[in-house]
């Protein structure tokens, strides 16, 4: 796994497979120099949602994570919810996508691909 430190703790790690696939996607989107924004929101029933986007520059309160060719941003509110998490890219017979393993929430990993993200319980 490739990772970067934010202050003392690792906010989020990317596997080599995730870095490779993200670099491929950014190239296809002509956004190689953009930051990947990663945010977490919690809904009232305790569920979480991962939000991804592209940004041109980091904000003052953003943690910047560099992993290989990938530059990611995590806002101050999402950072404690993501600390210790990892993002992987898996290819399977029926489905391929990014899988987020987050030790801060029960229920295991979450998968993103085919236009959406979902968390299993």
Residues shown for the chain: 121
Bigger pLDDT: 85 vs 112: 85
Identify the residue whose tokens are 């993501």: 82
pLDDT at 117: 53
Domains of the chain: 2-119 (2.60.300.12)
Task: Indicate the pTM of the whole model.
Answer: 0.76
Q: Give the list of residues 6+ apart from residue 48 with CB closer than 8 angstroms, or none.
A: 40, 41, 42, 81, 102, 105, 119
Residue 55 has pLDDT above 50, yes or no: yes
With vertex at residue 86, the alpha carbon angle to CA 52 and CA 60, rounded to the nearest 5 degrees, is: 50
| Cβ 67 vs Cβ 79: under 8 Å | no
């Amino acid at each position: 796994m490739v990772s970067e430190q934010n202050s003392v703790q690792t906010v989020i790690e990317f596997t080599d497979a995730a870095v490779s696939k993200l670099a491929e996607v950014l190239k296809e989107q002509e956004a190689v120099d953009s930051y990947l924004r990663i945010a977490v929101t919690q809904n009232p029933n305790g569920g979480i949602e991962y939000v991804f986007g592209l940004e041109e520059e980091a904000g003052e309160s953003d943690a910047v994570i560099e992993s290989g060719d990938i530059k990611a941003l995590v806002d101050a509110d999402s950072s404690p919810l993501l600390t210790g998490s990892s993002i992987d890219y898996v290819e399977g017979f029926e489905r391929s996508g990014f899988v987020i393993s987050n030790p801060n929430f029960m229920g295991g990993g979450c998968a993103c691909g085919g236009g959406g993200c979902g968390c299993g319980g």
